[in-house]
Structure 1
């Protein structure tokens, strides 16, 4: 029994180290580097390094190394917290700024990182130890740091097949989040405000009949944009085309609102957007954190038409290309 437990533990550690190695060596993703670690925005993995020195009063080499290892892990987790604080939730706030406003969030984040995965421990010739720890931005941490006040799409559970056939769908009032999304899809008239009764007809977007799109790639290279956990895509009038109101909270937490890459061709073949993504160009980046992307009205209208019958936005199938 003990041997089986030891074997399972060894397999878990090997799997974790392999995942870390693959995540950090993947040059196709967008990696944001810091003094003591990095954020891989493709895999969602945040890693940090810490160094611990052996105490002068250690009774033997074994105790010295054990205490140095413990110190290195403590420092690495402290550095991990500092990196996490600098991660942008959206264009308005970082995780650190959000933690300042909420004591419960600060306590929860600190407690979560206290149990972060140890990916590597290296013993140096001078007796010091270097430890690498990491945590995913997705899943449990995202559940903590993405504000509950952020609007997400309410996805109703599907009825059983027989119920769908026998019961007509009732008329429902739109939720606050879907109402906001619908309202934002009306392009604003920037020349002269007019009433809906006299508003000019909008030109129909150019969408090929039967066009199937499996995801979206936004080329934001050269725009000065920065990555965020919850980016937005807006049109030239500031109306939201893609954002939290169009996806379920579950998808956003488990997969992230978007993946990031450094090259359009590499972004197009990522599993997130599968095999037929639409590629659009970002005109600029906006917001305090420069993570909201502006696209042309023509591309915005095309996306609105496509997402009426296709669900790639709901499933967060979006890749963003940054410098």
Structure 2
């Protein structure tokens, strides 16, 4: 009888817990990274002790607990952000007390985006922080911009070859017809940005992605950009489809679109493009500054 009684109590407790959980409406995702907007957000839930002096005090204490819970979740999400193909934010925090202290300071001042009181009296709080700005300044690689010559190398002059001057033409007997008037040619529009279509490849976003040609030579990365632009807006923007990437003001009115061949790197954040596209980008970038100003959009799945 005692054994049966214990089973009944345990079953009743389990039923009560299931009933309680069913009454709590599921809220938004606890934490997420919106790479298209360059923002990390987290949602926390706070409750207040029953011995609070007033309803206002209970609400204030619940709000405070909700902020603490949200920022704790925000920290866990920030740790998992990929900086490049091999390094996450957590790796920097473990290896540097300075980085850990700075990030904790940023989190303690993360913006409260909203709050609402739930039916049970608890408070749901949403906090957020930017991937760009202070966080990017702390974590971005320190490669110096302009350290790579984007101009294609000129073909070497053959050695030991003497070029004889062509003989002057003799007197012309026949009359020469006048040359036709030149047909005006419209100059091509200036390339204002780059769209890399990586859809269907399983590529992942990162703060510092890279592009490589088929021979493994880097075409785009931290050493090709202005650090100021990379900190302000990130090295690349991300979109879910080509149309959204094309409409993004980041790449301007006349972006060049290419298709990635495959992903590269341990975390699948780097992309390989064809040698033909790589040469085209190098040629265009030699006369324009769209790479230096991080005018790059990457389309993911």
Q: What residue is the counterpart of 1:152 in the other structure?
A: 144
- Secondary structure at the residue paired with 1:120? strand
Deviation at 1:54, TM superposition (A): 1.4
Task: Select which of 125, 131, 148 maps to 1:131.
Answer: 125
Task: Select which of 230, 240, 244 maps to 2:218.
Answer: 240
2:285 is the counterpart of 1:307 = yes
Q: What residue is the counterpart of 1:259 in the other structure?
A: 237
Asked whether the equivalents of residues 122 and 131 of structure 1 are also in contact (C-alpha less than 8 Å), the reply is yes
Return the TM-score normalized by structure 1.
0.72
Cα distance in 2 for partners of 1:220, 1:292 equals: 10
Change over 3 Å in CA distance of 1:286–1:259 after alignment to 2: same
Misfit runs of 4+, over 3 Å: 182-186, 208-211
Change over 3 Å in CA distance of 1:55–1:302 after alignment to 2: same
Q: What residue is the counterpart of 2:73 in the other structure?
A: 79
- Secondary structure at the residue paired with 1:88? coil
Deviation at 1:182, TM superposition (A): 3.6
Return the TM-score normalized by structure 2.
0.77
Deviation at 1:183, TM superposition (A): 9.2
- Secondary structure at the residue paired with 2:85? coil
Q: How does 1:291-302 map to 2 (within 5 A)?
A: 291-302=269-280
- Secondary structure at the residue paired with 1:50? strand
- Secondary structure at the residue paired with 1:122? strand
Asked whether the equivalents of residues 184 and 240 of structure 1 are also in contact (C-alpha less than 8 Å), the reply is no
Change over 3 Å in CA distance of 1:95–1:185 after alignment to 2: farther
Q: What residue is the counterpart of 1:165 in the other structure?
A: none
Q: What residue is the counterpart of 2:82 in the other structure?
A: 88
Where structure 2 has 5 or more consecutive residues not aligned to the other structure, the ranges are 1-27, 159-185
Cα distance in 1 for partners of 2:138, 2:117 equals: 34
2:197 is the counterpart of 1:219 = yes
Q: How many residues matched? A: 245
Deviation at 1:197, TM superposition (A): 9.8
Task: Select which of 33, 36, 45 maps to 2:39.
Answer: 45
Change over 3 Å in CA distance of 1:99–1:296 after alignment to 2: same
Deviation at 1:141, TM superposition (A): 1.4
Cα distance in 1 for partners of 2:152, 2:65 equals: 53
